[in-house]
Structure 1
Amino acid sequence: MRVLLTGANGFVGRAMQARLLSDNQHSLRSAMREIPAEFPTGLDACVAPSLGAGADWCEALQGVEVVVHCAARVHVMQEQALDPLVEFRRANVEGTLRLAQQAIDAGVRRFVFVSSIKVSGEQTLPGEAFHADDTPTACDPYSISKLEAEEGLLALATKSGLEIVIVRPPLIYGPGVKANFLSMLRWLNKGIPLPLGAIGNRRSLVALDNLVDLLVLCLTHPAAAGERFLVSDGEDLSTSELLRGLGHALGRPARLLPVPQGWIEGAARLIGREDLSQRICGSLQVNIDKTCERLNWTPPVAVNQALARTAAHFLEHLKP
């Protein structure tokens, strides 16, 4: 079976590419913005068009049976666009639906779409969790664009018979992780004291290996067609537990000060950074029962193993 993987040089795409090449069960074509000078021997790679309504995927889709769409305009912490929603819609809605329509025209059977848990919402109440079929509560330009893409894909499926599979991951971590997770690794490795020793929230995360394992299953599983799935490691952590786990994996015990959570939330409000407080102190849990039961799947990598792999990669690539 031939698979077209978009975003093949992104964080998820690189791991998905490596898995499919190592499994050697499918014929892979990788679409990426730039083809590196050195890439795996025998890799069928093509330059991906810019995401948008005018993109031409016809050549890349020749002979393809399944598309895995990882490419996207991702959530931007310091947005520069004058109208972010317009830019997100151009790439994530118009670009996705353009690819899907051309996939239909090319005779593609299945389209696996990597969405985001932000479509479900920003946070959950203590003891509660998002379910795959809950009413979405997307509330920022990025999550709105992902939701609109999901809805557009399902509408195309109704008209054409294209099998749509939607996967909504929460925060993804693993070897090569960037952004806030990388900052935490750096802080812990330097032994910086952090006022985060008394955070009692619960957050679902997903290790890169676990997400990729599910995506590979979704390529062919008959019960995946037409469904939305949530994914996680199956073990929720507080911010404090995550930091302690990472510290242990780094061999540098986390220096966490037991500052009351309410103080952190109050300080964040004073400086107008409620968003930061929400990420540090808020809960976001997902229920993966549907995923596990419908697809007979369990996360293959335990949290402590995934944290160890992430930390080992960080230390290996640490600059002097």
Structure 2
Amino acid sequence: MNGILLTGVSGFVGGAIHERLVMEGVGALTVALRQSMPALPDSTRQVLIAAIDAQTDWAEALNGVDTVIHSAARVHVMSDNSENPLEEFRKVNVAGTLNLARQAVDAGVRRFIFISSIKVNGEGTMPGSPFFADAVPAPVDPYGISKMEAEQALLKLADQTGIEVVIVRPPLVYGPGVKANFLNMMKWLKKGIPLPFGSINNRRSLVALDNLVDLIVLCIRHPGAAGQTFLVSDGEDLSTSELLRRMGAALGVPSRLIPVPSWMLEMGASMLGKKDLSQRLCGSLQVDITKNRELLGWVPPNSVEQSLALAARHFLKSAG
């Protein structure tokens, strides 16, 4: 039995994992999804799952599976209008994950790879004081709390049953087809809009989609990954100002950055109720990936320049 079950194949990260697994011909590959995707190759077995929660029946999807890669989740959103956001996150990210893991144990699954979030560590760091994979978690928002609770439940299950749990916590992921703020950044740069971000001296870790997927695929078989938590990044931290300049270069356009002091941006964002956004733009968030090299021999295969160029080419092609 050497099959792989992948959840979240319709998402940004899950889709890229699937593409890599197909390219490498890993063998029997099953994906669980809400509705069929005709574009997937015939070699991928599709199993329809109505929803991920404490009641989901995974028996069909887990048949013949040795490894689960669980990337599906109720994702973080900037403005959550739920009456109780934490409970909504828990239904999918905690109860749904643990239900899948318990059924995976019963099905004889050897390894469970959980795609978590750097938000389990917290929202930010001081420059030069990165997060470490084995530090005490300090999540702040409901999404981060739900991911932490899922991690803890999985590790407890591993202690009880022997299933090998691997946890990967990415920071912001970018690459071809990226959405949200990173896509908006490319649109602003392409249009030549002056941006007030020329004097931000923060340090932020990002991870290119290809680099993240490379680590996840390595964790499928590497014996050193069992029972471990890994942070992941490109291995080079950038300020927001430097990211904009280098992204502009990748797009072939000048980055029109106005040197507005960070404290003014943070004050203005707070007045507009956008404190979370100002943290992402002006605050630091660094991760240490030394553990990945020491335990797995892993270093990011693609540089920041290569990764930004890939994202830029896809964006320019899509924009016509």
TM-score range, shorter chain: over 0.9
Alignment partner, residue 222 of structure 1: 223
Per-residue deviation, 1:26: 3.2
Match of 2:300 in 1: 299
- 1:270, distance to aligned residue in structure 2 (A): 2.5
Matches within 5 A, 1:182-197: 182-197=183-198
- The match for 1:253 is 254
Q: Secondary structure at the match of 1:125?
A: coil
Q: Deviations over 1:257-285 (max 9, x none)?
A: 11111211222223232212111100000
The 2-side partners of 1:225 and 1:267 are apart by 46
Give 1:110's aligned residue.
111
- Structure 2 unaligned spans of 5+: none
Whole-angstrom CA distance in 1 between matches of 2:253 and 2:44:
39
**Contact between 1:9 and 1:33, CA under 8 Å: does it hold in 2?**
no
User: Unpaired segments of 5 or more residues in structure 1?
Assistant: none
Q: Is 2:28–2:44's contact at 8 Å kept on the other side of the alignment?
A: no
Aligned match of 2:13: 12
Shift of 1:47: 1.5
| TM-superposed deviation, 1:177 | 0.4
CA drift at 1:159: 0.7
Q: Distance in 1 between matches of 2:33 and 2:8?
A: 5
SS of equivalent to 2:277: helix
Distance in 1, matches of 2:19 and 2:127, equals 37
| Counterpart Cα distance in 1 of 2:236 and 2:36 | 37
| 1:1-320 alignment, distance < 5 Å | 1-318=2-319
Cα distance between partner residues in 2 of 1:48 and 1:207: 29
Confirm or deny: 8 A CA contact 1:3 1:67 kept in the other structure.
yes
Q: Counterpart of 1:278 in structure 2: which amino acid?
A: Q
Aligned to 1:219, the other structure's residue is in SS state: helix
Q: Supply the distance in 2 between the matched residues of 1:295 and 1:107 (Cα, whole angstroms).
A: 25
CA distance in 2: counterparts of 1:271 and 1:13, whole angstroms: 34
User: Is the Cα–Cα contact under 8 Å of residues 47 and 60 in structure 2 kept in the other structure?
Assistant: no
Residue-by-residue CA offset, 1:121-178 (whole Å, 9 max, x unaligned): 0000121100000000011110000000000000111111000000000000000101
SS of residue paired to 1:194:
coil
Name the CA distance, whole Å, in 2 between partners of 1:36 and 1:268: 41
In the TM superposition, what is the alpha-carbon distance from 1:294 to its structure 2 partner?
0.6
Name the aligned partner's letter for residue 12 of structure 1. V
* Structure 2 CA distance for aligned equivalents of residues 254 and 40 of structure 1: 40
> TM-score by structure 1 length?
0.98
Residues 196-230 of structure 1, C-alpha deviations (whole Å, 9 max, x = no match): 01110000000000000000000011011011110
Mapped to 1, the partners of 2:38 and 2:111 lie a distance apart of 31
- Quote how far apart the aligned CAs of 1:36 are: 2.0
CA distance in 1, matches of 2:41, 2:54: 31
Counterpart amino acid of residue 288 in structure 1: I
Q: Which moved more, 1:132-141 or 1:76-85?
A: 76-85
Q: CA RMSD in A?
A: 1.0
* CA-to-aligned-CA distance 1:174-206 (integer Å, 9 cap, x gap): 001011001101101111000001110000000
In the TM superposition, residue 253 of structure 1 has moved relative to its aligned partner by 1.4
2: CA distance, partners of 1:230 / 1:95: 23
What amino acid maps onto 1:297 in structure 2?
Answer: W
My pick for the range that moved more, 112-121 or 258-267, is 258-267
Letter in 2 for 1:295: L
TM-score using structure 2 length: 0.98
Q: Is the CA contact 1:88–1:142 (under 8 Å) kept in the aligned structure 2?
A: yes
Q: What amino acid is the match of 1:101?
A: R
User: Take 2:118 and 2:17, find their aligned partners in 1: how far apart are those partners?
Assistant: 19
How many pairs align?
A: 319
Contact 1:7–1:13 under 8 Å retained in 2: yes
Moved segments of 4+, more than 3 Å: none
Between the aligned residues of both structures, percent identity stands at 59
